[in-house]
Structure 1
Amino acid sequence: MKILNIQSESNSQSSARNKYSLIISIFFASLAGYSYFAFLPFWLNNSKGFSKPEITLMMMFMGVGMAIFSWFFGKISDKTGHRKLFFIMGLFFQVILLALFYLYTHIIYYCILNFFRGFLLGMRMPASSALFAEIVEKKNLNDEINVNNGIPEISGTQLSLLSATKSAGWTIGVLLSSSIINIFGVDSLILFLVIITIISLIFALPIKDVKKEDILSNESEIESVWEEGLINDKKKKNTKDVRKGGKIKSILFVSVFFRQFGVIAFLQMLSILLIEDAGMPIPVAGVLIALNPLFQVVAMIVNGKVIDNPRISERTMLGSGFVLSALTLFCYAGGFATGSIVLFVIGQVSLGFSWGCVYTGGFKYIVNRAPQDRAFYMGIWITNLQVAKISSYLVFAFLWITFTPIGILPYAALIPLVGLVIVFWL
């Protein structure tokens, strides 16, 4: 035990540096990512003159790239343990890809660029989420806390740090990018994205992978304590059984699919709808859009603590997110119909809390039930979201040829409720 305590103290500082280097890098990557998501359609529309259906088609290809490669790179990352490599490569090539947006103007060209952006996101996102979970897992093993049947359970509070960091990056990204566009014009967006991604890359360089042998070594030390009688043989057997592989029910992905399908197409076009259809100034639209990730930060922190309550299950958290998603779209419909900015505010707050519930519930479910395949299942999670996004873009782009996006909103609001029904079987 004395040796274990000495090792714990020696590793704590390097582990903290590793964690916060990763967190800061993810913050800037999220800042650039949500700025891209929120305002690239506006850039394509105002700077390049593409129509809404054309923009929807181009953005769909980013989802195609993520859907194809997220699970693939997640699986490779799990097998090799090279989380840092995939994360840094994704950021490095993203800088190059963003710079290519200035090179040429054609719908096929932008479809290809968006596809490869999805490829790069699929490379780095599962790896970064799994690396964060491993850093926390190693710390829990060193501290001998949250160890359930030998497995270091990662609490919702610990996961909320990663979730809140991403959401904070999204919030600041939208506010910064909308302000820069308002001051310097829409063509400044791409340069802004390049600079922020370079900053993210710089902070990613000191990151170190958590070696599997480190975790296994800590587990063996804990098992040696068990052999002294602190934990009985039955628990050791249960640990081995769980470590063979976790079970992730497909119902999780099916239920989240319907939430994403109903919401995502409208979120992608929200900046255009608010500015052109609702007649809002760009700064006002930027603030409204930023309310979503801002309240995601609040939701991630609050939900991280709430879900650690044994009476609150992942299923309950997910179901709450689906209800709030439906409320979001109903508020959008009311806002466009009445011109009330209050309804848009309520909708954005609901949206922030909805994703906070869905992500917290889903993320905790995955990382604690599949400890050996985290990146793979996070890749499946991302792939599922992207398949829903692609399907949503195709269906709603077709419907928007005949009907207006605003006219379809009340009907789209019913789709997340399908996920609410399905998730009760989780």
Structure 2
Amino acid sequence: MSSKETFTQISPSEFFYRNRDLAGFSNPTRSLYTAVREFIENSLDACDQKGILPDVHMSIKAVDAEKPDPKQYVLSVRDNGPGIESKQVPLAFGTVLYGSKFGLKQARGMFGLGATMAILYGQITTNKPLIVKSSTDGKIQDEYEMLLDIQKNKPVILKHETKEVAKAGLSLSIRLEGDYSKAGSKIRDYVYQTSLITPYATITFDDPKGDKYRYTKVVRTMPPSPTIIRPHPHGIDVETIRRMLLDTHYQIPAVDDNMILKVRKELGLANKNLSYSEIMDKTQKKWKALTRPVRTVMALMSFLKMDFEKLSKTTIEEIDIGNKKLTYWDFGESQSVSVDMDPESFYYKQLASTVQGETLTSFLSKRFQRVGPTTALKFAEFAKFKPEHRIGTMTNQELVKLSDALQSFDDFLAPDPSCLAPLGESPLEKGMQRF
């Protein structure tokens, strides 16, 4: 007689909670050091992206100075960066694997995972909330006090208030278990070395013993902001191609506030709140006058059966024409949801037309770096694809064939290095001379 086995699914935050050593949070010493690095590098990255000379202040204070290490500390970091939009703050710091670093762009961190992991580590060792203060305009500051629901991978907002301020920027404060007696020398060295290679930044560190370490900027010129680049054909695989098809090729517009305003305007609903059925009735009457992006959004709405408010809380993940499935991410519930599409529907034909997408040669020249129309035609001949082959109709086998051919075609130009933003010899030399 066999026992019945139970299968369960865990969230990303649950996975990293169980395996936090993978992100550098294996013990109090390493965790305190890693948290410091993640918070400071997030601040420097934010300033770099907007061309702001960084002014970063960090403090570490013992909750009970008399207790021996390891013990609880309060780690606080504030900067003069661009801040984070209010509605994004809970998701940015209360959701694992949610951030602005998922892209091909030079940055100190790739995913923004470490900062959220520091917050998660602080919560599981002290059960104290994170405090975030953010101002994007230097006038109004949003302050959040929140926890992370580990099982659901979503933020739990305990308090949210606003107040007037005089400066833009972001500050984070967490309580966590750490061992400064062992991590202190590494943290001080890190701050010192970071100031050396970031001579355009001012970094201040107040340590638990009351000592202040301040490294002021010695140059006022910053390296150019790094730019997001398109991938090089030799650096991708089948999964990357599949994601490119979903993210860019299908040309499904982002259903954000701006798009909803555009939809409302074209439907003549700027100041009206209608139900889903009333919106779709209006759509049918106005269909011929609608632009293609708005038609696509309305086709999506027809299958999602949502009004504008609900639609704004979702993002489209996949349109599977072959299996007649539409998959979207529900931010409110933090989960993927699939709905069936009626192939006889007029709106299905609209989506199918969109998903068929551009030709192979157009896809290559628009989606990859340093691939022009002539090279795209040569590649199509090499890979034995018709140049006019619609990329959205490719089977899994054809995608594998395409990936293999991209890897082996020798006539692609070398990757473009202009996306990089090196510090430069002179600023680095000045930074080193100070020390």
- TM-score interval for Structure 1 and Structure 2 normalised by the shorter chain: under 0.3
Report the structure number with the largest CA radius of gyration.
2
Query: Quick check: which one's strand share is greater?
Result: 2
Calculate the TM-score normalised by the size of structure 1: 0.24
